[in-house]
Chains A and B, each alone.
Chain A
Amino acid sequence: MSIEVNNLTKIYKQKKHQKKIAVDNISFTIPGGEIVGFIGPNGAGKSTTIKMMTGILTPDNGSISINGMNFKKNRKEIMLKTGVVFGQKSVLCWDIPVIDSLKLFRDMYRVPREVFIENMDAFIAILGLDEFIDQPPRLLSLGQRMKADLAASLIYNPDVLFLDEPTIGIDVLSKERIRHFIKKINEERHTTIILTTHDVSDIESLCEKMIIIDKGALIYDGTLPQLKSDYRTTDLEEIIKKIYLAGEKRYEKIC
């Protein structure tokens, strides 16, 4: 499924009538079946944008269209086809064995029996889900919890998957497995994936396209090779550093 974002804006009201423009009039299009890296320094507005694209927050201005559908009219249809993982927060019920949450999602998203079994087998084979499936998330390690969260968001074969910092605080080997799994899902099911991360190697190994935002504004929207040729270097970390630094300088000038 493709995603079209037009003039999206979100303003938070902070203390004493202070307002914070978290997302400032951004527009972009994500074609179906792509993995897009959604990058920006801390506080850039990535999570806020994702919360609007998943229908959690209502934008103050602008529109979001997912395969031509919008949250006002087609909320339920969109939700049935969307998976979300927040690295900083589990989507599973905290005190309940992982398997119960998976079964809940099976019924909630009307997953056919064969599909459920097939997906469970894949999760067990690739993510080693069977090791901790009977335990509640509160007893899991961060990496295990992330795997369980990925499984929970993919059990119903969503067409769009939002991953907000899915590799935060995860060891290299688990990270590798998670990346491999994300790649495989994208190739096999043509799932559109929007990924935010601060880990440059995540982007290098997964993303064809990149969207960079800073202070709520769109900085770059294009492919990874294009970005590299623009900056005449293959060192992505260096490029991102430059972009963030330029953003800070611009901000100092304004103030």
Chain B
Amino acid sequence: MRKYADLAMIGIKEHTAYLSSVWANFLAKVVYLYMQFALWNALFASNKGSNIPLSHNETIRYIIVATIISTFMECDVIGWINGQIQSGDVANQLIRPIDYKFMIFARHIGTSLARFVIYTIPLMILICIFYNGELFCKKQLACGILSIILAYMIQFLYSLIIGLMAFWLIVTWPLNMLLAAIYKLLSGSWIPAAMFPELLTKINMFLPFRAIYAIPVTIITTPMSAESIRESLSIQLFWVVALFLISEAAWVVGKNKLVVQGG
């Protein structure tokens, strides 16, 4: 267990090694949130909300909670794996007596902890000061936290699978750009998933993305029946299992295909 704690610690230190980027990241989050806020306010002011499925208030709550979650959920796992493949550093990971995936996960947890302290808490304090209203559905908060944990697993496993694809593709950034855009849109981190047109909603039913933001944020912000909470959580659980199995398969295939760069 200690070795995982060490790895998490290294994740924390790595994330805080470049202090200026920490500040830039935090400012970027604040600006992003403000822009979202201004945008939706303007949209609702001009439209009166006649054909928007969420109310003004619900929408604002959604984007605030989604932004808060994104501060610790977003990870660089794809970037790490790609970087390690391209520089050949992946060799250093493969000679260790620990599973590569666990090493990446431990480091990812460390980074998330660092992000939580550096970004999430200050952002929540800022929001407490500037937003006066009920942000959370208190009754559903416990389920919401459980849902966030499941979403965290899904987000990690998804990133791991895409990252592992570099084991045989080596250069994956064009694919990554495309996937990043799809991810941002379909997960509901930009726009509440409830506002998607019908076709997109249908496609999204069969994809894991909405389980990362749309489901946990909705559980936290919108009152729901116990049954639909249960259903949402089961969908997430399904994706955790499915993505875990896919990641195992990707690992087995990738390990044999891997070509380490550099002499």
Tell whether B9 is near chain A: CB-to-CB under 8 Å: yes
Which residue on A lies nearest to B9, using beta carbons?
A: A100
Q: Looking at the complex, which one of B6, B96, B256 makes contact with A103 (CB distance below 8 Å)? A: B6
A164 to chain B, nearest CB (A): 8
| Cβ of B258 to closest chain A Cβ, rounded Å | 7
New contact pairs (16) apart from A12-B259, A101-B10, CB-CB < 8 Å = A51-B260, A55-B94, A55-B95, A56-B94, A56-B95, A57-B258, A57-B259, A82-B95, A89-B262, A93-B14, A96-B13, A107-B2, A108-B3, A108-B96, A108-B97, A109-B97
- List chain A residues, Cβ under 8 A from B184: none
Given A76-B97, A86-B91, check contact A104 B10 (CB 8 Å). yes
Given the interface contacts A95-B13, A96-B13, does A47 sit within 8 Å of B263 by beta carbon? yes
Bound state CA distance, A103 and B3, in angstroms? Answer: 9
Is A65 an interface position by the 8 A CB rule?
no
Contacting pair B91 A51 (CB below 8 A):
yes
CB distance A104 to B3 under 8 Å? yes
Max chain A Cβ within 10 angstroms of own Cβ: one of B6, B14, B95, B256:
B95
Residue tally, chain B, CB below 8 Å to A: 28
The complex places the Cα of A93 from the Cα of B95 at a distance, in Å, of: 14
Chain B: minimal CB distance from A115 (Å) = 16
Q: Would you list 17 pairs from A and B whose C-beta atoms are within 8 A, ordered by A residue?
A: A54-B91, A56-B95, A56-B260, A58-B255, A58-B256, A79-B95, A88-B263, A89-B92, A90-B92, A91-B92, A93-B14, A96-B10, A96-B14, A100-B10, A101-B10, A108-B3, A108-B98
Least CB distance, B88 to chain A, in whole angstroms: 6
Nearest CB on A from B92, distance (A): 5
- The closest CB in chain B to the CB of A152 belongs to B92
Q: Which residues of B contact A84 (CB under 8 A)?
A: 91, 95
Which residue on A lies nearest to B5, using beta carbons? A107
Contacts of B97 in A (CB 8 A): 76, 79-80, 108-109
For B96, what are the chain A residues with a Cβ–Cβ distance below 8 Å? 79, 108
B84 to chain A, nearest CB (A): 11
Please list the residues of chain A having a beta carbon within 8 angstroms of any beta carbon in chain B.
12, 47, 51, 54-58, 76, 79-80, 82, 84, 86, 88-91, 93, 95-96, 100-101, 103-104, 107-109, 136
Does B89 count as interface, using CB distance less than 8 angstroms? yes
Closest-CB distance, B164 to chain A (whole angstroms): 15
Residue of chain B at shortest CB distance from A78: B97
- Which residues of the partner chain A approach B256 to less than 8 Å between Cβ atoms? 58
* Cβ–Cβ < 8 Å partners of A55 in chain B: 94-95
A108 and B94 CA atoms in complex are apart in Å by 13
* Complex: A127 Cα to B13 Cα, angstroms: 26
Within 8 Å by CB of B10, from A56, A88, A93, lies: A93
Shortest B218–chain A CB gap in Å is 38
Within 8 Å by CB of A54, from B2, B95, B98, lies B95
Q: Which residues of B contact A80 (CB under 8 A)?
A: 97
Task: State in angstroms the CA–CA spacing of A108 and B4 once bound together.
Answer: 8
Q: Are A89 and B98 neighbours in the complex by a CB distance under 8 Å?
A: no
Chain B nearest CB from A55 CB (Å) reads 7
Does the CB pair A104–B88 fall under 8 Å?
no
Q: Does B186 contact A (CB under 8 A)?
A: no
Q: Does B78 lie at the interface of the complex (its beta carbon under 8 Å from any beta carbon of A)?
A: no
Q: Cβ of A54: which chain B residues have Cβ within 8 Å of it?
A: 91, 95
Docked Cα-Cα span, A136 to B14, in Å, equals 11
- What residues on A are CB-neighbors of B3 within 8 Å? 104, 107-108
- Which of chain B's residues has its CB closest to A101's CB? B10
Cβ A56 vs Cβ B91 within 8 A: yes
Q: Residues 7-22 of chain B: 1 if any A CB is under 8 Å from the residue's CB, otherwise 0?
A: 1011001100110000
Q: Nearest chain B CB to A43's CB is how many angstroms away?
A: 8
Residues of A within 8 A of B7 (CB): 104
